[in-house]
Structure 1
Amino acid sequence: MTNSNGIGGIGGGGLTVNNATQNQAALFFGHNWQITEKLNLDYGVRYESMHQKGSVRPNVANPQSSNPAYGGTDGDPLTVYDNADGAAGAPLPFNKTIHTFSYSAGLNYTINNQFSIYGRYSEGNKAPDLGVYFGANTAFANSTLNPQAQKIDQAEMGVKIREKNLTLFVTPFYSVLSHVPNVQTFTLADGVTSYSPPVLYEKVRTYGLELEANFNITQNFSVKGVGTLQNSKAANYRVWIANQPGAQDDAIMDYSGNRADNSPRLMLNVTPSYNVGKFFSFITWSYLGAREANVANAFQLPGFSQFNLGAGYDLTKKLQLSANINNLLNKYGVMSWSRPGTFLTSLDREGYTKSMYEADAKANTPYATIAIPPRAYFLTLTYKF
C-alpha cells in the first residue's frame, strides 16, 4: 500500500503552483473636533493602493489516475502511493491594481451627564485577497478575471444612558456588505483535477439592534449584559452548481432573498460578577442562536448556550491567583460544517441544496461539523512587576 517510507500518497493528481508579489501603499487621516462643549465630531479617511502580480500554474492530472488498473510508476495497482500523478500546466498570469477609499464620521451630542445621543456612518473598502486570483485557475476564469474591492456601508445611531446604578447603550444599525467574492472549487470529468469557475460577487444586507447594559445591584454584585437582534438577508447572491464532474453543465443558482448564512437572529452574553475585598468571581452565559448553514438555506445549525466560570484572589498587590473553567457544562456547540462527499466536494457548501440535504438525511449520510472547544480548566498565577 505504501512506499518504503510509509507514505500512502505522493502528490495525488498533482498540485497547483501559485506565486504572487503584493505591493501595498496607504494614506490615512483622522481628526477629533470638539465643535461645542456638548457636540463632538470624529472622522477619518483612508486611501489604499494594492497591486497583485503573479501567476497560477494549474495541475493537469494524468488521465490514467482514475483507472483502477493503472499501476503508476511501478506498474503495480496494489501500491496505491503512486497510482495518481499529474503535471504542472501552462502558467496563467495576472497583474492587477485595486484602489480603495474608505471613510467614517460620527457625531456625539451630550444632553446632560446622564443622557447622550450619537450617530455614525462608515464606508469601508477592502482589496480582494490572493484567493480570488489563485481561484482563477482555468484559461476562461483567468481571461475574465475582474477583481472587485469588497465594500461595507454601515449606519448606526444610539442612545447612552447613565444612572446611579445603571449604564445602558441602545444602538440600532444597518449595514450592506457587497462585492463579496465567492470562490468555489469543483472537479473535472477525470475525477481528479480540480478547477474553480469564474468568481461571483455577492451582497448581504443586515439591520438590527444592539443592547449593552451594566447594572450594579449592590456594592459587590453587578450584572453586565450584551444582546444583538438582527435580520440578515442575501440581497444579491448567486452560486455555481457543479452537477456532474466537469465544467460543461455547471449552472448558476440565484439565492437572492434567502436568509444569509452564519448570521443568527439572536446573540446574548450575560455576566453576573461578585467582588468583595481581594476576592472576585464571575459566571458568563453566552447564547448563539440558530443559523442558516448556507445561503441555499439547506438546513440550520442549532443554537446553543455556553457557560464560563471564573474566580480569583489578590494574594498581594503584585501577585494574583485565578481559576477558570471554560464550557462548564461541556456543551457541543456547532460552529461550522462541511457537506458529505469527497474532500473537494465537502469544500463546496454553497452548492449544497435543500433537496440534497433531505436526500442525505433520508439515507443517514453523515457529514462533519466543527464545535466549540470542550470543557477546559485553567489555574493561573500572575505577577505584576
Structure 2
Amino acid sequence: YHWRSDASLGEVGLMTPSESAIKTGNIAYSVNSFSKIGDKKFKGIVNYRSNHFGLQQFDMNVTGGIGDKWRYSGTMYQTFDPGTFKVKFDEYADRTQIYRAGLTRLFNDNKGKISLLYKYAYSRNSLNQLNSAPFIYVGDGSIKELPGFEPGLASYGPASGEFEYMDIMDGKMKTCNLRDMADNRSHEVTLLTDYTFDNGLKWNLDFKYMNAPEANYVDFGGSTISEVTEEDGYTLSDGTPYSGLIEGRRTWLHIGKVRNILLTTELEKTFGNHRMNLGLNEWYYHLDYHSSSMQWTATVQEYPEILTAADGSRFRGFNELSPEYTKGYENKLALYFTDDWQINPKLNLFYGGRLEYYRMSADQISHPRYSGFYIGDTAPDGTVITPANVTKDKLNYAATARVTYNMIKGFGLTADGTIATRFPRINEYAGTGPTEEQYNRVTIPLVRGGLFYKNSWLDLTSMVTYIAKSNNIDQQNLTKPGTSEGKTVLLIYDIQTLGWTTSAEIDPFKGFHLHALFTYQKPVYKNYNASVTFSDGSQMGVNANNMIVKEIPQVLVELDPSYNITKDLRLWLSFRYFGKTYANLQEALYFNGRWETFGGINWTVNKNFDLGVTVVNFLNQKGAKGTINGSELITKDEASKYAGCYMSGTYLRPFTVEFSASIKF
C-alpha cells in the first residue's frame, strides 16, 4: 500500500530466486529498488497518467546539489482513481498520496555518502472489496453475462458502505463505513550509507524504520447464488417482499498496526577471479492485528441491496468465518555470503549461503470460531476465549549454487539449485493454527537446468525447473454446495511443480524487437485434505491431493513485439496467453484459456518531453478468472449439475485507453 514505482526511484531491479533466498530468506523474484539521491546539477521530472474512466495520476521528483558536498531529493505522488465503475460509498476506488524528502552528504573526496530519507504515505483502495461479479457458468469453461450486468463495468458492492459488525476485541456491536475501514497510513525513515575504501572494498549500511499506525483493508467473499420467493421472508429496505436471485456475502474488516526496524549491512570485494559479498540482516517486525467478519444476504444486481431476513436481521454470522487475531513480533538475525567465481573464461560458479536465527513471539487464539466469537466470550464448550502466547526460537538456512559453462561462442549450459527453509511466521498464528503438533519446518527446494544461445540477433534460453514447498499453512472457508453456509478449516499441505520455460529476445532487423516466452508447468497439491461438519450434522470433505493448483494455468505464452517507426516513435504490443485454469479446488469447475492484450505508442517529442497512449484489452475480451465463490466442495462428478448456474468470481480487466506524459527539466 505504501510503495509505488514512481519518479523517486533511480533504479528498479529484480533479484533472482537464488539471490533473494540468500539475501532475504525467501525464494522468489524480488523487486529491488533504489531511491534517487540527486547530483550537483538540478534536475526534475513530472509524470502524468490518465484513462478514459477518469483516472488522474501525478508524480514529480526534483533533485539537486547544495554546494559540492550536499544533495537533495523530493518527490510527490498522487492517484485519484475512480475505477472502471462508480463505487458510490467512496469517491475513488484508489486514493493514494506519497511524499518523500531526502538529504545526502558526500565525504572523503566522494568515496562515501550518507543519506537520510523520509516518506509519508496514505492509501485507501476499495478495489479489494469490489473485484468480483456475478455471471452464468455455462459448463464448458465459458460464462454468460447477466442481463444488465457487465463484469468490470458494474459494481457488485452495495451503494451504501454502512455495515454492522461485532468487534472481535470486546464483543460489542458497532457500525462502520467501509470507506473509513480501508485507511492505510505510514511513516518511514531511512538511513543509507556506503563507502569505497582505497583497496576496492565496498561497504554499505541501510537502516529503515517504518511505523504504520493504520494498516487496514476490507475483504469481500461470496457463496452460492440461489433463487428465493416471497415466502422465504426476505424484504428490501422499504419493506417490500423480495423474490429473485440472492447470494450469501461475507465481509472481513482487517485492522492492523505495523512497525518495522530493518538493518542490512554488506561488504563486497573482488579477489582475483572471485567477487565476494558478506552481509548481515537484523530485521524486526511488530504486528498488532485483528479482523472481524460478518455475513449478509444481498440481491444479485449492480449495486446489490442488503436484504432483511425473516427474523428482521440484515447481518448475521458475526465472527463465524475466520476472524483473526495476533499481537507480537518476529525477529530475523542472519549472516550470509555469496561468491561469484569466474573459474576460467568458459566456466563460472556462483554460490552462497545464509544462516538465520529466527525468534517469534505471538498471541494466538487456537479455539475454533463460531457465531458470536470474541475475546473474553465463553464458547459453547465452556472455554473462555483468551489469547495464549507462543514463543519460538529456530534456525533457518538457505544455500544456492549455479554453474554456467560456455561450450562454444554464444552457446552454453547452466544449472542451479537452491534450498531455503523457514518456520511458521507470525501472520500464520492469526487464525487457529498451527498447534504444537502442526509446527513444522517449511522447506523450499528449487532446481533448474538448461541451455542458452546468443548471437547478434537472438538471445535464447530454455530451462526445466522443479520447485516444491512443504507445510503450507492456510485457512480455507468451505461452503456447503447450494447454500450460503460456510465453515473455516485449517489446512497444512504441500505444493510442487515441474515446468519447462523457453524465452527469446529476437532482433531480426533494425528497429524491430520481439520478446517471446513459452511455459508448460504442472503445479499440483500434495497432502491436501480437509473435512467439515455443517450445522445440520452433515459432513463433507475436500481432497485435492495431486490435483492442479487452482487459478494457475499449465500453459503460459508471452509475445511482446515492438517497432521503432523512427528513432523517436515506438509502437508496441503485448499478448499474454493463460491456458485453462481450474476455478475450484477439486478440478470440477474451470475457465478456458484466454488472451490478455495490451498495446501502445510512445513518442519522444524532444529530450524533455515524452507522450504515450496505451490500450488495455484492445481485443475487448470479456470473461471471468480466478476462483468461483462457494465452489470449494464441488467434485468432478457433480460438475455437470452446475452448468447454467449463477455464480460469482473475479473478472478480466475491461477495455481501457490510457494516456501518459512526462516532462523533464
Instruction: Find the counterpart in structure 2 of residue 43 from structure 1.
Output: 351
Residue identity matched to 1:271: D
Q: Separation in 2 of the partners of 1:286 and 1:142? A: 38
Query: How far 1:34 moved relative to its partner?
Result: 1.8
State the 1:57 CA deviation. Answer: 8.3
Q: Does 1:380 align with 2:535?
A: no
Question: Deviation at 1:130?
Answer: 4.1
- Which is bigger in relative contact order (C-alpha 8 A, separation at least 6)? 2
Unpaired stretches in structure 2, ≥5 consecutive residues: 1-159, 167-315, 379-384
2:503 to 185, 206, 212: 212
Matching residue's letter, 1:45: G
1:86 to 1:9, Cα distance in 2 relative to 1, 3 A: farther
Alpha-carbon spacing, 1:113–1:54, altered in 2? closer, same or farther (3 Å): same
Partner of 2:388: 93
Give the aligned residue type for 1:9: E
1:214-250 residue CA offsets vs partner (Å, 9 max, x unmatched): 221211222220110112333x23232325238x765
| 1:25 and 2:332 are equivalent in the alignment | yes
Match of 1:245 in 2: 535
278 and 262 in structure 1: CA distance in 2 versus 1, 3 angstrom threshold: same
Closer, same or farther in 2 for the Cα pair 1:231/1:13, shift >3 Å?
Answer: closer
Evaluate the alpha carbon distance shift between residue 158 and residue 60 of structure 1 in structure 2; reply closer, same or farther with a 3 A threshold: closer
The amino acid that maps onto 2:388 is P
* CA distance in 2: counterparts of 1:293 and 1:187, whole angstroms: 14
Q: Which has the higher strand share?
A: 2
Matches of 1:196 and 1:131 in 2, distance apart?
17
Residues 14, 88 of structure 1: 8 Å contact kept = no
Contact 1:184 1:240 in 2 (8 A): no
**What's the counterpart of residue 303 of structure 1?**
593
State the 1:131 CA deviation.
Answer: 4.7
Residue 56 of structure 1 aligns with an amino acid whose one-letter code is: I
Measure how far apart 1:211 and its partner are: 0.7
Moved more, 122-131 or 37-46: 122-131
Amino acid in structure 1 at the alignment position of 2:649? T
SS state at 1:358 partner: helix
Residues 165, 309 of structure 1: alpha-carbon distance in 2 compared, 3 angstrom cutoff: same
Could you give the per-residue CA deviations for residues 178-214 of structure 1, whole angstroms, max 9, x where no partner exists? Answer: 21223224699xx9998644x3322222112111112
Aligned-partner Cα distance in 2 for 1:95–1:127: 13
For 1:95, the aligned partner's letter is V
Alignment of 1:1-385 (within 5 A): 9-11=164-166, 12-15=316-319, 16=323, 18-27=325-334, 28-48=336-356, 49-56=358-365, 61=371, 88-89=377-378, 90-97=385-392, 98-136=394-432, 146-185=438-477, 196-197=488-489, 199-234=490-525, 236-245=526-535, 250=539, 253-275=542-564, 276-339=566-629, 346=630, 350-361=632-643, 364-385=644-665
Following superposition, the deviation at residue 102 of structure 1 comes to: 1.6
Asked whether the equivalents of residues 14 and 87 of structure 1 are also in contact (C-alpha less than 8 Å), the reply is: no
RMSD (CA atoms) = 3.2
| 1:266 positional shift | 0.8
Question: What is the letter of the counterpart of residue 654 of structure 2?
Answer: P
Distance in 1 (CA, whole Å) between partners of 2:161 and 2:444 is 50
Post-superposition offset of 1:133: 1.6
Amino acid across the alignment from 2:398 = S
1:302 deviates by: 1.8
Deviates more, 1:215-224 or 1:85-94: 85-94
SS state of the match for residue 167, structure 1? strand
| 1:277-307 deviation line (CA, Å, top 9, x unaligned) | 2111111111000012233111222210122
Distance in 2, matches of 1:43 and 1:272, equals 35
- Alignment: residue pair count: 341
Change (3 A) 1:232 1:61: closer
CA distance in 2, matches of 1:107, 1:201: 35
Q: Which runs of 5+ in 1 are unaligned?
A: 64-84, 340-345
Whole-Å separation in 2 of the counterparts to 1:299 and 1:376 = 29
Cα deviations by residue, 1:111-134 (Å, 9 ceiling, x for unpaired): 343112110001123443445322
> Does the 8 Å CA contact 2:452/2:461 hold for their aligned counterparts?
yes
1:61–1:306 distance in 2 versus 1, CA, 3 Å: closer
TM-score, normalised on structure 1?
Answer: 0.77
Q: Please give the alpha-carbon distance, in whole angstroms, between the structure 2 residues aligned to 1:56 and 1:358.
A: 40
Distance, in Å, in 1 between the alignment partners of 2:655 and 2:519 is: 26
Q: 1:195–1:45: structure 2 CA closer, same or farther, 3 Å change rule?
A: farther
| Aligned AA (1:173) | T
Q: Which moved more, 1:52-61 or 1:159-168?
A: 52-61
Would the alpha carbon gap of residues 272 and 61 (structure 1) be closer, same or farther in structure 2, given more than 3 Å must change? closer
* Distance in 2 (alpha carbons) for counterparts of 1:194 and 1:57: 19
Contact 1:279-1:312 within 8 A present in 2 as well: yes
Judging by fraction of residues, say which structure has more helix: 1
| Structure 1 residue 29 displacement after superposition | 2.3
3-state SS of 1:260 partner: coil
Contact 1:57 1:91 in 2 (8 A): no
CA distance change for structure 1 residues 176 and 187 in 2, over 3 Å: closer, same or farther? Answer: closer
8 Å contact kept, 1:42–1:106: yes
Question: Does the 8 A contact of 2:326 with 2:427 survive in 1?
Answer: no
Structure 1 position 253, deviation (Å): 4.4
Scaled by the length of structure 2, what TM-score is found?
0.47
* SS of residue matched to 1:132: helix
Contact 1:157–1:173 under 8 Å retained in 2:
yes
SS for the counterpart of 1:242 is strand
Kept in 2, the 8 Å contact 1:332–1:372? The answer is: yes
